[in-house]
């Protein structure tokens, strides 16, 4: 799999973000409901443009972010990414955000196995983790479904309280992506 090439799941198309996504990214990261559990403050359009530019050429870098789009309507659903890849600790942080109109419709559950496989197969890490706000029960439940467990923080954070949920390669069933 070429990580720079688009790919699909049952309902989603995944591709790298580009300049045509500025409005969607701005909406995503400036909305007060969406920002409730983010560690970053709401962004303006210039910051949305910077987010896209940061993730446009991920080859050889410790991060990558895909836009997720509905296969039928091409509507923006959200993003998923890995970042804070630490080759020394052999771990990487993953994250995702779903536009609020699509909450509780199984999109994280659908996207997560693809993202986990990318991290284990292409990055070769032994551990993936997410940092989430302790009150973000939906996110915690989504990752627990795939075997993530609460652990000590995998990296230092300066923001509000975060819990760390980890999944080790040894505990991951790589065939899970084919079952969804």
How does pLDDT run across 18-42, given as a tens digit for each residue?
999 999 999 888 877 777 666 566 7
Q: Helix and strand tally (H, E) in the chain?
A: 4, 8
Q: Which letter does DSSP use for residue 74 in this model?
A: -
What per-residue confidence (pLDDT) applies to 180? 44
Q: 43: phi > 0 → left, psi -120 to 50 → alpha, else beta; which?
A: beta
Looking up tokens 């995944």, which residue turns up?
14
- Decide: 67 and 14 in contact? Cβ < 8 Å: yes
As a whole number, mean pLDDT of residues 86-114 equals 92
User: How confident is the model at residue 150, as a pLDDT?
Assistant: 92
Q: Which CATH architecture has domain 7-179?
A: 3-Layer(aba) Sandwich (3.40)
pLDDT number for residue 44: 84
Structure tokens at 137: 């029960």
Give the pLDDT confidence of 45-55 residue by residue, as tens digits: 898 898 888 88
Q: Is the pLDDT of residue 113 over 60?
A: yes
CA distance 66 to 79: 6
- How far is it, in rounded angstroms, from Cα 130 to Cα 17? 21
- pLDDT tens per residue, range 132-175: 888 888 889 989 988 999 998 787 777 667 888 999 999 997 66
CA distances from 25 to 65, 87, 113, 116, 124 (A): 12, 29, 23, 23, 29
Please compute the mean of the pLDDT values over residues 58-74 and round it to a whole number. 91
Q: What is the pTM of this model?
A: 0.87
Region of 89 please: left (phi>0), alpha (psi -120 to 50) or beta.
alpha
Conformational region of residue 156, where left means phi above 0, alpha means psi within -120 to 50, and beta covers everything else: beta
Tell me 157's DSSP state. -
**Phi first, then psi: what are they for 109, rounded to 5°?**
-60, -35
Question: How confident is residue 176, by pLDDT bands cut at 50, 70 and 90?
Answer: low
Mean pLDDT of 74-88: 94
**pLDDT for 139:** 87
- Kindly list the domain boundaries of the chain, sorted by start residue: 7-179
Residues shown for the chain: 180
Q: Kindly provide the b/e burial profile for residues 31-52, where b requires at least 16 CB atoms within 10 angstroms of the residue's own CB.
A: eeebbebbeeeebeeebbbebb
């Amino acid at each position: 799999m070429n990580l720079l090439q688009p790919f699909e799941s049952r309902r989603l198309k995944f591709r790298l973000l580009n300049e045509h996504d500025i409005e969607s990214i701005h909406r995503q990261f400036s909305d007060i409901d969406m920002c409730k559990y983010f560690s970053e403050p709401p962004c303006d359009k210039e910051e949305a443009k910077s987010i896209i530019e940061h993730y446009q050429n991920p080859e050889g870098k410790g991060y990558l972010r895909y836009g997720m789009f509905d296969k039928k309507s091409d509507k923006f659903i959200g993003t998923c990414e890995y970042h804070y890849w630490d080759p020394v600790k052999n771990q990487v942080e993953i994250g995702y955000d779903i536009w609020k109109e699509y909450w509780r419709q199984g999109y994280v559950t659908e996207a997560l196995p693809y993202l986990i496989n990318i991290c284990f197969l292409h990055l070769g890490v032994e551990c993936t983790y997410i940092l989430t706000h302790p009150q973000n029960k939906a996110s915690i439940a989504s990752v627990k479904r795939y075997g993530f467990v609460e652990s000590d923080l995998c990296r230092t954070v300066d923001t509000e309280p975060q819990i760390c949920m980890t999944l080790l390669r040894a505990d991951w069933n790589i065939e899970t992506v084919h079952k969804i």
